[in-house]
Chains A and B, each alone.
Chain A
Amino acid sequence: MESESELIAKLQQDILLWQGFKPVSASKAERIGLGAIEDAFPGGVFPKRAIHEFISVFPEDAAASDGFIAGILSSLMQDGAACAWISTKRRLFPASLRSFNVEPERIIFMDAKSEKDALWIMEEALRCQGLAAVVAELDTLSLIESRRLQLAVEESGVTGFILRKSAGKTATTIATARWQISPIASVAEQGMPGLGFPRWNVNLLKVRNGIPGNWILEWAGEGFLEIKRVLQSDGWKEEQNRQIG
């Protein structure tokens, strides 16, 4: 006889299957270097066959989202695959991607004139199995459109990222995960003046069948580094004298 908890676990596994999650074992090889954040996802694995939605209101947050996505791309594109970056008003500076371990020349930028075109390109790109990931900067996304994208993703296995840069109001989408990334003060190496590695407050607002949460993450040159939350002292006074690098 199965115990009640075993039965519930089995039913949850079934629900995941019906929702398009393929069962994957949480092996080390599947990790993409996000550390504790990956445990928030069902099965403890970052869902690659999924749409991830990033919302930002201010350009600073958008830049942080770009950086965070670039960090994820660096592990998704590890095996030489290309990536498509679709937008209508792009400000991303390709040269900066190199510092996130991504080769900018392996990214195909598609700057559409209208949202409609961008959405069409995104759907076509998500069906293309030769790509590792597709990033799209979209302002609006309806439920039906997001469902089409989700279907395309489930078929091909390409990871989709949607960056909503003017997300004043939250739209209903069926994205697997909704993120909000905002920059927080960096900490330079011991005794060094100036800025440290980029550090973000990663807010996982929604994750299907997972546990939403809040983390502090740093891009430490080669990969993500999770920062344990400590009481922040007033850094201004001690930094005052060593301001210039």
Chain B
Amino acid sequence: MIITASSPLAAAAGAQRGMRAADAKAICAGLEVLDDKPGRAKKLLQGLGEWCIRYAPIVAIDEFGMDGLLMEVSGCPHLWGGERPYLKDIVSRLKSKGYTVRAAIADTPGAAWAISRYGTITPIIEVNGQAEALLPLPPEALRLDEIVLARLRKLGFYQIRSFFNMPRSVLRRRFGEEFLLRLAQALGTEAEALLPIQVPVAFQQRLPCMEPIRTRTAIEIAITKLLESLCPSMQAEGKGLRKGVLTGYRLDGKLVQVSIGTNAASHSVSHLFKLFQLKIDQIRPGLGIELFILEVTKPGDVELPQETIWTEKPGLDDNSVIRLLDRVAGKVGAEVIRRYLPATRYWPERSVSNTTSITAKKDTEWRMDMPRPTELLATPAPIEVMALIPDHPPRFFRYNGVQHQVVKADGPERIEREWWLDEGEHRDYYQVEDDKGRRYWLFRSGHYGSEKQFKWFIHGFFA
């Protein structure tokens, strides 16, 4: 067992991080050892990060050390009366919960990281002051590998100041690209992107209620109000809703959520309301809902409708069709809606490709050279057959207990199996018509008289 973390008291007694637990117990007799759960630190950081969203919209976990949070605070401190009270508020609140916290504000994430861990003078670095502030710090402040750090120490670089003015080519040769990147990130010559733990939602609307809401009518009014204030702002930016979530905060602290989706971005109040209306049954208000939040989790660009010069009957991308599909997807489920496009394959079951998109275009033409049945059985059904001559169409066949006498036939059309996908025999298809004029699609699987068994199947009905 290795020590992964120790309290200041234990650390003072000699129980260092990375030590064996048995050794530490030998040094310090009264040491209490608790098992560490993997992932606990990350979970705790995640929780703290989500709590910190109250201070800034973009909060990221420090992936280098896994022991800190990086916040983009531009435009936030003035709400707390300036940077100093802002920082003080964060630190004192976290301290009151029992955490040991250090914080710093600087122009770059790298500089803030360095100052918060190794800074001694001031936690707030003025604009463009990061280079000066970094100079007296040890090289560890640059978020470097242990190998690079050891090399720096060996060469006697105990402060950033000592290698700060060296030519970059020399530094690159000795310490690698990573070293220069970290230095540039701290100085701000290289941009560093933060990975926010929660992406801020662009379109969001809150509706606190004076009284807890329980009835259907009241929920409908709430949704209308939310949409009426949200839709104009989306419209102004040319955006529309593709996916939206309505969250209701109930009196008993539970959340109720319903979500809707559209096939094309929309900012129409009446249409979006209809979609939510289908979902109201799923909202369980319990004792009552006191706060509604409507979030657009996936916005999309609204295509501006073109003025039609002459009124033509519209096609698939007609607004009313898309709204119909939205309603169907909302009520029954989006998986019921399908369109078929031609595929460049011969095997009948795979000759059409399935798409859920309403805008997908075909990339090949439909084949019309060979007859295809109007109704196709999902799995071919075996039939009993009598054929006079090998490789001729059958003279009689029996399907579902009914005897059919074949009068006319076309074929065979041989379709080879797609051997790179599945194994089996090829199929010889015949289009046959019986004495009553009914038309069928039959096939023989495999060669006549081959060692392997050949079988006859019915695969469809022609119109």
Contacts from A to B (Cβ < 8 Å): 59-60, 62-64, 66-68, 70, 79-82, 84, 91-96, 98-100, 103-113, 117, 120-121, 124-125, 128-132, 183-186, 188, 193-195, 198-200, 219, 235-236, 239, 243-245
In contact, A66 and B336 (Cβ under 8 angstroms) = no
Interface flags for B180-214 (1: CB within 8 Å of A; 0: not) read: 00000000000000000000000000000000000
A129 to B392 CA separation, bound complex (whole angstroms): 51
In contact, B433 and A185 (Cβ under 8 angstroms) = yes
List the 3 shortest-distance A-B pairs measured between CB atoms, nearest first. Answer: A67-B463, A130-B318, A63-B461
A112 to B336 CA separation, bound complex (whole angstroms): 6
CB B286 to nearest CB in A, in angstroms, measures 29
Interface flags for B378-415 (1: CB within 8 Å of A; 0: not) read: 10000000000000110000000000000111110000
A140 to B331 CA separation, bound complex (whole angstroms): 21
In contact, A236 and B375 (Cβ under 8 angstroms) = no
In contact, A99 and B337 (Cβ under 8 angstroms) = no
CB of B66 within 8 Å of the partner chain: no
Stretch with Cβ within 8 A of A (4 or more), from B13-21, B109-117, B232-240, B309-317: B309-317
Complex contacts, A239 vs chain B, CB 8 Å: 407-408
CB B255 to nearest CB in A, in angstroms, measures 29
The 27 sampled A-B contact pairs (Cβ below 8 Å) are A64-B374, A66-B463, A67-B462, A80-B313, A84-B324, A93-B373, A95-B352, A96-B372, A96-B376, A104-B366, A106-B316, A110-B332, A110-B338, A117-B332, A117-B336, A120-B331, A124-B327, A130-B324, A183-B436, A186-B408, A186-B433, A186-B437, A194-B408, A198-B439, A243-B393, A244-B393, A244-B411
CB B363 to nearest CB in A, in angstroms, measures 11
Interface of B is mostly: mixed
CB of B78 within 8 Å of the partner chain: no
Contacts from B to A (Cβ < 8 Å): 312-316, 318-321, 323-325, 327-328, 331-332, 336-342, 348, 351-352, 358, 362, 366-368, 371-378, 392-393, 407-411, 431, 433, 435-440, 460-463
- Beyond A121-B332, A194-B409, A243-B408, whether A79 also contacts B312 by CB under 8 A is yes
Closest to B402 in A: A58
Contact with B313, one of A79, A96, A188 (Cβ below 8 angstroms): A79
Complex contacts, B366 vs chain A, CB 8 Å: 95, 98, 103-104
Contact with B435, one of A81, A95, A236 (Cβ below 8 angstroms): A236
Complex contacts, B409 vs chain A, CB 8 Å: 194-195, 243-245
CB A120 to nearest CB in B, in angstroms, measures 7
A184 to B341 CA separation, bound complex (whole angstroms): 31
Complex contacts, B358 vs chain A, CB 8 Å: 108
Complex contacts, A91 vs chain B, CB 8 Å: 375-378
In contact, A128 and B321 (Cβ under 8 angstroms) = yes
In contact, A81 and B340 (Cβ under 8 angstroms) = no
Complex contacts, B332 vs chain A, CB 8 Å: 110, 112-113, 117, 120-121
